[in-house]
Structures are given as structure tokens and as C-alpha cells.
């Protein structure tokens, strides 16, 4: 199933495919059996290789030493990395284009560019106990003579156990923008940050999602991203990118699931014949291929629309469509793959079992499927089908 990608995209796709197949996939079972962890030297090798391959600088403008790849090239990379379970493909950090629009030169040097070289690692602290789909932030940032004093609690802070700083969203308590949100860089070693709980989740990742408490954490004014009141004005470009890349990874996961389930069905003998010759199994594979094809077309077309510079509002809806469709299709495909593998598909050593747990969250984070549907329906109501 080949899309009509140009040579540049194909080269990026091939680089990422080789990295996934040769380096990451062989480590999956070891990670699964060890709480997501690999030996430190292996994790370090993966990180260094990813950086050398250019994956950490894909979205960085050239004037900052990055590769400034087209969106379609980046989607081609993330699709291949999506073939891998246990989040082993998250072995590197990536500065994103929005950061270069939003951050001061000092912030770029101190926080953003060190992501590209692997010297620093970030995590995102937005969600709270009362704030998920509805972003009603209760964590406060009070301006004092020394800086902002931050108080509150954040939930689901992915990778906080590996990161050395946070992007933190808080509500301003004073000044002309009191009541509106602002985003800050917060160093994890700041006094007053406390890990209140590290819940266990369905997947087996080395990236944990702890709950963090902030007790009078002092954050320098220079760490505020943008002006007071800018709040989450950057969040839309961030959502667009993350939603598109989730869709890309779901396409990669779905492709691997179909390939592995097909290979198994071709060798497994059941009821006097090969599984692949049973029409009920053929139907599951046919539905999966059809859905994957649709998901890839939607996702790559949305990427190309970015590269053509289409209207940002239309891109926003397109990224929601891609995430909604690809994440739901990949989940159905994972479930069918488990079914085709039978009892073996329920074993943690089988990638279908792992994907069936891991892909589930793609329908929840970065906006649950219902939220994506609302984005799409609102775009339809405002601009009509042709305007989307």
C-alpha cells in the first residue's frame, strides 16, 4: 500500500523505518517485561541515534540549526515510529515550531534548543483534577516582587520522571489579566514541587504520568512564555501538530498490526485449512486494510495541506479529522489483530496485545474523540464542507 510520496519524504520514511525495525522493535519485549525500562546504555544509544538521524530537529527553523522539514516528511517519520510499542520511539525530544514563535531568545537558548541536542527534556503540565476537556485551570500564578508564586496540582504529567523542566499552565491572580491563563517554563528542581502520586496506567511505558503538587514555587518572570494574557494562544498550533502526529503513529501501528496478523493467519492451520482462507478472518483483514488506507490518505493529505499553506482554521479541523479517524480505526484494527492471533493475541509478548492497550489512550489525550467531533462539527457549521 504505497502513497504517492516524493523522494524526500520516501528517504525520511526509510530512515525512520530502519531505525524502528533494527533498533527499537527488537527491544519491545524486554521493555514490556521490565516496566517499560531498557538498560541505560541502550536507551542512551537510541537517543543518540535518533538525534544523529535528525529526528530531534525536524521541526526546528534553519536559522536555529534545525532541518525545518515539511510536515509531510515529519508525518512520514512519525508514521514509521508508530510501528513501535512501549513508547520506545519517544527516545528523543523535539522542539516545535510554535516554540520559536512564542519564546524569547533567552528561553530558546535555555530551554528549547537543548531539547534538540538531548541535553534537556520537557514535560507538559496542563491537566488538573477538575480540568481536562474543559481547560478551567485552578493552579494559580501570583506576581510578587521576586517572580510568580505558583500553587496548585497537575495531573497526568507525562514523562515527568525523565524530564528536567515543565511547560506549566496557570491562572494569573492579579494585574490587568487576572483570571486569564499564562504558560511558564518551570525547572523540576525548583523548591516546592512535590510528587503526590504516581498512578499505574494500562500501558507499560518508562514514561510515567505522575501528579505533581506546587507549593509556593517561585518562577522567574523571565520564564513566562509570551505576555500576560497570551495564555494558551499557542496551544492551537501545538494541538494541530500533536493531533496530526498521533494520527501518523496510529497509521504506523495499524500497518504493523495488519502485517503481523496476516503473517500469522497465513501460517496458522485451523479446521483443516489456513486461517487466511477463512472468510470471516479475511473480512477482518479486509476491513482493517480499508480503514488503514483511509486513515493514511486523511493524515498525509492533512500534512500536505499544511505544506501548501492552507487556511489555519481549515487545518485545525483537518487535524481533528485525522486524529479522530486514525485513532478509532487503529483501535478497531488492534482488536481484530488480537482476535486473529487468538489466545496468543492476549499474551503480553504479542504486539497486538500491547497495541490494544497502548492505542486506547489516543482516543482520550490531546482532546478526546468527542472533543474532536465538536471541533469538526463547529468548523462545518461555520465554514461549510468546502470551507473545511
Ligand X SMILES: Cc1cc2nc3c(=O)[nH]c(=O)nc-3n(C[C@H](O)[C@H](O)[C@H](O)COP(=O)(O)OP(=O)(O)OC[C@H]3O[C@@H](n4cnc5c(N)ncnc54)[C@H](O)[C@@H]3O)c2cc1C
Tell me which stretch binds ligand X (CB under 6 A): 108-116, 152-160, 257-265, 352-360.
152-160
**Please, what is the minimum distance in Å from the beta carbon of residue 155 to ligand X?**
7
139 contacts ligand X (rule: CB under 6 A)? no
**Please, what is the minimum distance in Å from the beta carbon of residue 34 to ligand X?**
19
Of the candidate residues 36, 54, 118, 132, the single one contacting ligand X (CB under 6 A): 132
Of 66 and 152, which has the nearer Cβ to ligand X? 152
**Please, what is the minimum distance in Å from the beta carbon of residue 314 to ligand X?**
22
277 contacts ligand X (rule: CB under 6 A)? no
Of the candidate residues 101, 277, 349, 370, the single one contacting ligand X (CB under 6 A): 370
CA pair distance 307, 70, nearest whole angstrom: 6
Say what angle helices 7-18 and 71-81 make with each other, to 10 degrees: 20
**Please, what is the minimum distance in Å from the beta carbon of residue 211 to ligand X?**
11
137 contacts ligand X (rule: CB under 6 A)? no
Query: Which residues have C-beta within 8 Å of that of residue 315, sequence separation ≥ 6?
Result: 240, 302, 305, 306
359 contacts ligand X (rule: CB under 6 A)? no
239 contacts ligand X (rule: CB under 6 A)? no
How are beta strands 224-225 and 211-219 bridged, if at all?
unpaired
CA pair distance 303, 332, nearest whole angstrom: 24
Of 233 and 339, which has the nearer Cβ to ligand X? 233
CA pair distance 105, 272, nearest whole angstrom: 69
DSSP state of 187: E
Of the candidate residues 11, 106, 117, 133, the single one contacting ligand X (CB under 6 A): 133
Question: Pick from 97, 217, 130: which is nearest to 168 by CA?
Answer: 217
Question: Pick from 184, 77, 56, 62: which is nearest to 120 by CA?
Answer: 56
Tell me which stretch binds ligand X (CB under 6 A): 37-45, 47-55, 85-93, 153-161.
153-161
Residues 202-231 that bind ligand X (CB under 6 A): 209
100 contacts ligand X (rule: CB under 6 A)? no
**For ligand X, how many residues bind (rule: CB under 6 A)?**
18
DSSP string, 121-141: -EEEE--BTTBSSS-----EE
Of 100 and 365, which has the nearer Cβ to ligand X? 365
Tell me which stretch binds ligand X (CB under 6 A): 79-87, 110-118, 316-324, 357-365.
357-365
**Please, what is the minimum distance in Å from the beta carbon of residue 170 to ligand X?**
12
Cβ neighbours, 10 Å, residue 206? 19
**Please, what is the minimum distance in Å from the beta carbon of residue 213 to ligand X?**
15
**Please, what is the minimum distance in Å from the beta carbon of residue 65 to ligand X?**
27
CA pair distance 297, 251, nearest whole angstrom: 10
152 membership: H or E segment, kind and range? strand 148-154
> Left, alpha or beta for 31 (phi > 0: left; psi -120 to 50: alpha)?
alpha
CA pair distance 47, 381, nearest whole angstrom: 44
How are beta strands 122-125 and 165-172 bridged, if at all?
parallel
DSSP state of 277: G
Of the candidate residues 13, 71, 93, 127, the single one contacting ligand X (CB under 6 A): 127
CA pair distance 75, 77, nearest whole angstrom: 5
70 contacts ligand X (rule: CB under 6 A)? no
Instruction: Find the DSSP H helices in 217-311.
Output: 235-267, 279-307
98 contacts ligand X (rule: CB under 6 A)? no
Residue number, nearest CB to ligand X: 132
**Please, what is the minimum distance in Å from the beta carbon of residue 311 to ligand X?**
25
3-state secondary structure of 38: coil
3-state secondary structure of 161: coil
Residues 157-186, mask of contacts with ligand X (x by CB under 6 A): xx----------------------------
Tell me which stretch binds ligand X (CB under 6 A): 186-194, 264-272, 316-324, 359-367.
359-367
**Site of interaction with ligand X (CB under 6 A):** 124-127, 132-133, 156-158, 201, 209, 361, 364-365, 368, 370-371, 374
Amino acid at each position: 500500500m504505497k502513497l504517492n510520496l516524493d523522494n524526500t519524504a520516501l528517504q525520511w520514511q526509510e530512515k525512520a523505518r530502519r531505525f524502528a525495525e533494527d533498533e527499537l522493535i527488537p527491544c519491545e519485549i524486554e521493555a514490556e517485561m521490565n516496566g517499560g525500562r531498557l538498560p541505560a546504555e541502550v536507551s542512551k544509544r537510541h537517543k543518540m541515534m535518533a538525534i544523529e538521524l535528525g529526528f530531534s530537529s525536524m521541526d526546528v527553523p534553519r536559522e536555529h540549526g534545525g532541518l525545518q522539514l515539511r510536515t509531510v516528511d515529519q508525518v512520514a517519520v512519525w508514521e514509521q515510529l508508530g510501528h513501535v510499542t512501549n513508547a520506545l520511539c519517544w527516545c528523543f525530544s523535539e522542539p516545535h515550531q510554535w516554540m520559536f514563535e512564542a519564546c524569547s531568545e533567552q528561553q530558546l537558548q535555555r530551554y528549547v534548543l537543548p531539547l534538540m541536542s538531548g541535553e534537556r527534556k520537557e514535560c507538559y503540565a496542563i491537566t488538573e483534577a477538575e480540568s481536562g476537556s474543559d481547560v478551567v485551570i485552578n493552579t494559580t500564578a501570583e506576581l510578587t516582587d521576586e517572580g510568580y508564586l505558583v500553587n496548585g496540582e497537575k495531573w497526568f504529567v507525562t514523562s515527568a520522571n525523565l524530564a528536567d523542566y515543565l511547560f506549566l499552565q496557570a491562572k494569573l491572580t492579579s494585574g490587568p489579566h487576572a483570571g486569564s491563563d499564562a504558560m511558564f517554563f518551570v525547572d523540576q528542581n525548583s523548591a516546592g514541587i512535590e510528587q503526590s502520586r504516581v498512578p499505574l496506567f494500562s500501558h507499560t511505558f518508562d514514561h510515567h504520568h505522575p501528579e505533581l503538587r506546587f507549593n509556593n514555587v517561585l518562577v522567574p518572570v523571565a520564564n513566562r512564555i509570551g505576555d500576560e494574557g497570551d495564555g494558551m494562544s499557542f496551544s492551537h498550533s501545538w494541538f494541530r501538530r500533536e493531533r496530526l502526529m498521533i494520527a501518523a503513529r496510529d497509521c504506523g501501528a495499524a500497518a504493523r498490526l495488519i502485517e503481523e496478523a496476516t503473517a500469522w493467519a497465513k501460517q496458522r492451520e485451523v479446521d483443516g485449512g489456513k486461517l487466511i482462507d477463512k472468510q470471516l478472518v479475511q473480512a477482518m483483514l479486509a476491513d482493517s486494510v480499508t480503514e488503514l488506507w483511509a486513515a493514511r490518505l486523511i493524515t498525509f493529505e492533512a500534512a500536505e495541506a499544511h505544506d501548501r499553506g492552507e487556511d489555519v482554521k481549515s487545518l485545525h479541523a483537518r487535524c481533528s479529522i485525522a486524529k479522530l479517524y486514525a485513532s478509532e480505526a487503529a483501535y478497531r484494527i488492534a482488536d481484530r489483530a488480537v482476535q486473529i492471533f487468538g489466545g496468543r493475541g492476549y499474551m503480553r509478548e504479542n504486539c497486538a496485545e500491547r497495541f490494544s492497550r497502548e492505542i486506547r489512550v489516543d482516543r482520550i489525550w490531546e482532546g478526546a474523540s468527542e472533543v474532536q467531533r465538536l471541533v469538526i462539527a463547529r468548523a462545518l457549521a461555520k465554514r461549510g464542507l468546502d470551507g473545511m
